[in-house]
Amino acid sequence: MPHSCHIPNLVGYSIDGGRLRFTGILGSGSNGVIFLTEDITTPAPHVEYAVKCVIRAEKGTRRYGLQKQEVVYHQRLSAHPSIVTLHNVIEEKHYTFLIMDYCRGGDFFSFLSRRSTYRGDDECVRYMFLQVLDALEACHQAGVYHRDIKPENFLLNEDCTRLYLADFGLATENLLSATYGAGSSLYMSPECIGSEFIRRAYNTRSNDIWALGVILTSMISGHNPWSNACASDACYRVYLRNNNFLREMLPISESANTLLQRIFRRESTRMITIAQIRTAVGNMDTFFMHPEEIARGNDYLRSAAKSYYCGSEHEAYFLGHSSVVHDGAGLGGEDEASEGTDEDTVESLSSTLSVGPVTPELCAQQVDISVADIELASYLSRPLYPPRAAISAPAPKKPRQLSGSAGFLRRFMGRFNAE
């Protein structure tokens, strides 16, 4: 699969007949780069858009089908207020550009990592998580299963009060899928990982709901529950034996723990719906462990609470009853920390519970699109994009033969010269 590193820096160049000018780079993933552009035909300050650039796949290939599906699914959902608006799709000979709203607040993962104001604030957590539910419910009601639900794929408006779901590159219409490993490992359900299951189709809707549980855990504790939901992961292995493990190690409330237990069930018993999660979240008295419970908790729990609430407006309230946890304490101690915690978990927790909500990977794990069982929709014979998606710039002239990466870059950039 072509990687985003093959996409040149387009800053300073234009597309769509010179209307959209590239002004910056917002980020990149495994197969695309997100650029910031401005519409120079609008009054100053110019309207800005986020533009996803991907290397255009050859027609008839599976990668072409996947690119088509991303556009079709995103267009289907684009009008929903909790989905990033897709305004247009522009095709060039070698590249495809998705023109989307520019969300000035950045992504939700960065918000959770850098902002401490929401920590300990029940109403803020409730308000934000309900928006996550709204976006995913819109997908499911439209028959689209996202398969890469994670904070990085939710974007915020400028004042960080509204969330919008983006990136439908791994989405599917198939409720049952045999494509294992689709998504980001931190947020995959055990059956999606597939390493310990008989190779049978898993439920993609249930897999999305599992990811909701991981996001909620991060929001209310500052930590992910585990790195991978498989028996080789020490934290998940302990959770399978003791489903109170998260509450014993993280400063979450009893009611929040009960909800997470319902979400983190095995697939055959994971019957909870988004509507039921919404009801539970709406009625929850608090997501957070009471200060006195934190003070009585083991060293791991108190260390997690300290790292979560440090710098928060609620720090004094939640940590005021707790004895001081020195840096590094509780990550190899004895006494309370050793009760009910097996040795292989201690080593994992020393790295897992001592930091904030940092995911090991910032990019989605792309499926091997050449595998025979990748699911493609049945409408591949339709035109890929509507007529309005055609670019207005003239077709590029055939360049003289140049060698090396510099020649390739020069040929490519020539196609985007606005003059």
Residues placed in the known binding site for ATP = 52
What is the SS3 string spanning the chain? CCCHHHCCCCCCCEECCCCEEEEEEEEECCCEEEEEEEECCCCCCCEEEEEEEEECCCCCCHHHHHHHHHHHHHHHHCCCCCECCEEEEEECCCEEEEEEECCCCCEHHHHHHHCCCCCCCHHHHHHHHHHHHHHHHHHHHCCCECCCCCHHHEEECCCCCCEEECCCCCCECCCEECCCCCECHHHCCHHHHCCCCCCCCEEHHHHHHHHHHHHHHHHHHCCCCCCCCCCCCHHHHHHHHCCCHHHHHCCECHHHHHHHHHHCCCHHHCCCCHHHHHHHHHHCCCCECCHHHHHHCCHHHHHHHHHHHCCCCCHHHHHCCCCCCCCCCCCCCCHHHHCCCCHHHHHHHHHHCCCCCCCCCCCCECCCCCCCCCCCCCCCCCCCCCHHHECCCCCCCCCCCCCHHHHHHHHHHHCCCCC
Q: Residue 93 is which amino acid?
A: K
- 36 pairs with which residues across the strands? 24, 50
Question: Rounded to an integer, what distance in angstroms lies between the CA atom of residue 312 and that of residue 292?
Answer: 18
Helix axes 204-221, 122-141, angle to 10 degrees: 170
- Name the binding residues: 52
Q: Of 16, 101, 107, 148, which one is the catalytic site residue?
A: 148
Q: Residue 350 is which amino acid?
A: S
Question: Rounded to an integer, what distance in angstroms lies between the CA atom of residue 158 and that of residue 107?
Answer: 11
Q: Is 373 a catalytic residue?
A: no
Asked if residues 78 and 98 have their Cβ atoms less than 8 Å apart, the reply is no
Residues 107, 112, 113, 116, CA torsion sign? positive
Asked if residues 169 and 156 have their Cβ atoms less than 8 Å apart, the reply is no
Instruction: Give the count of beta carbons closer than 10 Å to the beta carbon of residue 394.
Output: 8
Residues serving a catalytic function are: 148
